[in-house]
Amino acid sequence: MATLERTMGEVSFVGFKKPKTPQEIVEYFRHLYAYKYASRFAENKLVLDVGCGVGYGADELSNKAYLVIGIDIWKEGIRYAHNKYSRSHFLVASALNLPFRDSCFDVVTSFQVIEHIEEKNMIQYLKEIKRVLRYGGIFIVSTPNRKLRLLPFQKPWNPEHNKEYDAKEFDGLLKMVFKSSEVFGLFATEKAYLLNIIELSKTLFLYTFSTLYFV
């Protein structure tokens, strides 16, 4: 099994250090509130968090769930989660080969993960999640909306993202494996949107400048 080698705090700070700048605070709550939303479906349930990172989300789910298991290929993140959060269980495992029997989880969450998976492995990732879900179980997944981040011709500016989706693409992908799906947006205050626009404008400027300069 391939594992992810990354220094703690590298690339993504979410859940590892206390956010300080307005941008970091918005990013933190954008991630956390996905877990808060998922918690309403986790009451007394057995929950699997695929791509749990440093475990802060699994711990949030533990406020309601009967038991939460978090998996990730990032060994350092799993070590951190195991030492910090005692209410959940964590292990190093791949989303493409989940080490669980069929039909054993009531809820599976996987937030900000699907965009990291290579397209050739996408169906395998979704089929593995469907396999471990019990009949009537629920899969809750989130990913950035490419229409809010990228130009039509632009590749993801995050080097760890293989593919980003718009709502229609995302819904179509999920329906290739699951019988039904619903796509929702994550909304914020006007000030939070403004901070996001400022950050994306900086990224777009750097992308455009570097493209024009090196062509």
- Quote the DSSP letter at residue 119: G
Instruction: Note the pLDDT of residue 184.
Output: 81
pTM of the model: 0.78
- How many CA atoms are closer than 13 Å to the CA of 103, on its beta-carbon side? 3
- How many CA atoms are closer than 13 Å to the CA of 80, on its beta-carbon side? 21
Q: Do residues 177 and 122 lie in contact, with contact meaning Cβ atoms separated by under 8 Å?
A: no
Rounded to 5 degrees, what are φ and ψ at 72? -165, 155
Other CB atoms within 10 Å distance of the CB of residue 129: 22
3-state SS class at 23: helix
- Enumerate the β-bridge partners of residue 71: 50, 91
3-state DSSP percent of the chain in helix, strand and coil, to 5: 40, 15, 40
**How far apart, in whole angstroms, are the C-alpha atoms of residue 19 and residue 25?**
5
Q: Do residues 101 and 91 lie in contact, with contact meaning Cβ atoms separated by under 8 Å?
A: no
Instruction: Note the pLDDT of residue 61.
Output: 97
Walk me through the domains of the chain, giving residue ranges and CATH numbers. 22-188 (3.40.50.150)
pLDDT for 73-121, tens place per residue?
Answer: 999 999 999 999 999 999 999 999 999 999 999 999 999 898 889 989 9
Other CB atoms within 10 Å distance of the CB of residue 86: 9
**How far apart, in whole angstroms, are the C-alpha atoms of residue 85 and residue 66?**
15
Instruction: Note the pLDDT of residue 65.
Output: 98
Tens of pLDDT along the chain (215 residues) come to 655 555 444 445 555 666 567 666 666 767 788 899 999 999 999 999 999 999 999 999 999 999 999 999 999 999 999 999 999 999 999 999 999 999 999 999 999 898 889 989 999 999 999 999 999 999 999 887 666 555 566 565 556 677 777 788 889 989 999 998 888 866 555 554 554 555 555 554 443 333 333 33
**CA 150 to the chain's CA centroid:** 18
